[in-house]
Structure 1
Amino acid sequence: MKLYLDPGHGGSDPGAVGHGLSEKNIALDIALRIQSILTSQYENIQVKMSRTDDTTKSLSQRTNEANAWGADFYLSIHCNAFNGSARGYEDYIHTSLSDSSTTAKYQDIIHAEVINLNQLPDRGQKKANFHVLRETAMPALLTENGFIDNAQDAALMKQSTWRQQVAQGHANGVAKAFNLVRKQQQDAPDSGTVYKVIAGSFQSRENADERVTFLRSKGIESFVDAVSISGATWYRVQAGAFSSRDNAEKRLEEVKKTGISDAFILAEDSNTAEDLESPSGYSILGKTYLSPEQMNLFVKNIKPDALELGIYYLTFGEYYGIRGDVAFAQAMHETDYLRFTGVVKPEQNNFCGLGATGPDNPGASFETPREGVLAHLQHLYAYASTKPLPDGYPLVDPRFSLVARGSAPTWVGLNGKWAVPGTTYGQSILGLYERMINSAKENLEKVLKEVKG
C-alpha cells in the first residue's frame, strides 16, 4: 500500500495561527508521527510525505507528486480556525463522491478511529471542493484536527502526548481501512513478559519532550509516559516495547548509539504493564485484571471495615467493557480509600465524586453501594465511548447526558474534565492502580511461600 501523507501548509505559509501555535508545525509533527507508526509497525506500506520539514510547497506540486507516484491513498493533515469559540474534529472527502463510494468508506473508518483517541468533540464527516481532494487520482481525505484559535483545543495541541494519540488514531484508521498486517516483532504480547526500552526518566516534562524530539531526529520513535512513583510524577521516555528480550536489547543498543547512556530495559508482566505504560494502555475501555478479592483486600489494608465493592466494579466493568479495577482505583482516589474525608459523605454511596463541586454542593446520592458503582461506570462509559449505553441496566448516572460523548477515551484524558484543573488527575489514578498491582503481587508471593513452607 502506498500512502501519500501531506502535512498542510509549510514554509512561507503558516496556515492558521493562534495561542502561539502555527498550523504548519502541528500538522507536520502529527504527520511525522503517523509515518513513524505505520512504517515501524506494519508490513507492506510505503509512505511518501509532501514535506518532512518547514518548506514551502504548492498544492499542485503535492497532488502532481502523489499522482505521479501512484499513491493508493492521499491523507492531508490540517488544523482549523474560526472565531475562537469553535472546537473539535472534522474530516472531508470531495463533494462529487457519494456516501457509498470507496473514499467515503475509508472516511468512515478513519474518522471513527481518530475520534476514539483525540479527546475532541466530533464535528462530523463532511465534503468540500478542496484542491487536494479534487485533483488527486486516488481516494483522498483531509482531516482538521482541532481549532488552533480555541483555547481548549490549543492547550491539547501543545501536548506531545495528544499529538501522539492523534497520530495513532490516524494510523489505526489507515491500517484498518487497508487491512495492513502488523509486524510480528512489534505486536503487543498477550501473555508473559514485556520488555520496555526506557530512554530516560525525568521530573521535568519539558526535558522528557526534548529527549523524544532528539530520538525522533535519529529515526527512533518514542513517547512520554507519566508515572507516579512514591507520590511524585516522573516522565519516562519509552522507545519500544517487545515480547522478545533480544529485540529489546537491539533497540537499547540503537538508543545508546545516539549517546544516551542512561537507557535501560524494564521487564514487566504484560497483563498489567502494557496497560500502565503504553499510550494505548491509558484506555478506559478494556479488561479488568484484578479480582474482587484483590480489590477489597487492597482498601482493607488501609480501612479494615471498608465496604466490599470489588464485585460491583468487576461485574459492571465487564458489562460496559471498562477497566473495572482502574475504576476502583479512581474510587479510592476520590474517597480517600473509602474514608470520605472530603465533601462527599459515606451515606451518599457516591464513590467517584459525581456532581460534587464544594461544601455547598456535595454531589449526587444513590440508594445503595451497588447503584453508586453502576453510576460511576456509566459516567466513565459516557467519556470513553460514543456508542449508545447498553440497556442491560437502568441509567442511574444523573450527569450522563452532560458529558461530551467520547471526549476522554483514556484515563489521562480525564484531566481537566472529571477534575478541574486536575492536570495530573489521570496519572494519579494510574499511579494508585500500580500500587494495587504491586500489592496483589506481594500477597500472592506471600501465599505461595506459605504453601511451599
Structure 2
Amino acid sequence: MKLYLDPGHGGSDPGALGNGIQEKDIVLDIALRIRSILLNDYENVQVNMSRTNDSTVSLSQRTDQANSWGADYFLSIHCNAFNGTAQGYEDYIHSNLSSSSPTAGYQDIIHSEVTQVNQLQDRGQKQANFHVLRETVMPALLTENGFIDNSHDAALMKDPSWRQRVAQGHVNGLEKAFSLKRKPDENVGVVYKVIAGAFKSKDNADSRSTLLESKGIESIVNTVVISGETWYRVQAGAFSIRENAEKRLVEVQHAGIQDAYIITENSNTNQVQTSGYSILGQTFLSPVQMNEYVKTINPQAIEIAQYYHALGTYYGIRGDIAFAQAMHETDFLRFTGIVHSSQNNFCGLGATGPDNPGASFATPEEGVLAHIQHLYAYASTNSLPGKYDLVDPRFDLVQRGSASTWTELNGKWAVPGTNYGQSILDLYGRMITAAIDNLNRILGVIE
C-alpha cells in the first residue's frame, strides 16, 4: 500500500492560527507520527510525504507528486479555525462522490477510528471541492483535527500524547480500510536494560549509583557472575521498548557516564546481548533539525544534512547519527584538523597525519556518499546496493560486518579511540535534546 501523506500548509503559509500555536506545526507533528507508526509496525507500506519539515509546498506540487508516484491513497492532515466558538473534528471527500463510492467507504472507516480516540466533538463526515480532493487520481481524504482558535481543542493540540492518539486513530483507520498487516512481534519477552557500568568492587558500583541518583536517574546494583567472577552491575532502567532504553542511555551519558550500554535480555530464551545504538536503522531527525543544530555552533556551516538523510535512508544507515559523526570529525564543519573543507571529506577517510590529509571528493554529496558507504562496509555483510557507484576508496579495506554498533567503531575508525563511538552518541543526544526543545518552543508546550 502506497500512502501519500500531506501535512497541510508549511513554510510561508502557517495555516490557521490561535492560542499561540500554528496549524502547520501541529499537523506536521501528527503526520510524522502517522508515518512512524506505519513504517515501524506494518508490512508492505510505503509512505511519501508532501513535506517533512517547515517548507513551502504548493497545492499543485502535492497532488502532482502523489499522482506521478502512483499513490494508493491521499491523506491530508489539517486543523480548523472559525471564530473561537466552533470546535470538533470533521473530515472531507470530494463533493462529486456518492456515498457508495470506495472513497466514501474509506472515509466511513477512518472517521470512526479517529473519533474513538481524539476526545473531540464529532462534526460529521462532509464533502467539499478542495484542490487536494479534486486533483488527485486516487481516493483522497482531508481530516480537520479540531479548531486551533478554540481553547478546548487547542489545549489538546498542545499535548504530545493527544497528537500521538490522533495519529494512532488515523493509522487504525488505514489498517482496517486497506487490510494492512502488522509486522510479527519478534520482541515478545525482550527487555532492554540500561547498564551504567559494571564493577568488581561493590563500593565502586554504589558510588556510580549514588552519582546517578544525584542526577535524578534512579538505579539499582545487581550482582552477576561472569566466567566465574562476581561483578556488580549498575542498572539505570529496564524497558520493553528499545527506543525508551535508548533515550535513557542518552540521559545517562549526559550525566557524564560514557561507558553505559544496553543489554537485551529475552526471558523466553535466557539470551543476553550487549549493544549500543545500531549503525543500521531508520533516520529520525529531519535535515532541517540537523542543519539548525549545527548552525547554533557554527552559523557559517554549509548544509549537508539532506544528503545524510537521503543516502542514509537508501543504505539503511542511521543518517542522523552519521551526521553527528561528521560533526565530531570536522569540528562542526569548521575543519580545524588536518582535513580541509575543500576535500568534502566529512569523516576523515584515509587521513593519517599532516602529510596525508586523506581522500578528496568532487562535491559535498559525493563526500557524504563515501561516508555512508564506509559505514555500510562496517555494519553489513550484504553486497553494496547498486544505485550509486562505489566512491569510498577504503571500502575493500574494511572487515565486513565487524562493527554493528557505533561503539564497536572504537579502535577501528579511530585508533585507539576507546571512547570514539560514545562521543558520537553524546553529540547525537544533544541534537535530539535540541530538536525536542525547539519543537516544544514552537508549540508552546512544556512536557
Please indicate the TM-score interval, normalised by the length of the shorter structure: 0.3 to 0.5
Give the TM-score of the pair, scaled to structure 2.
Answer: 0.46
Report the TM-score, using the length of structure 1 for normalisation. 0.45
Considering only CA atoms, is the larger Rg found in Structure 1 or Structure 2? 2
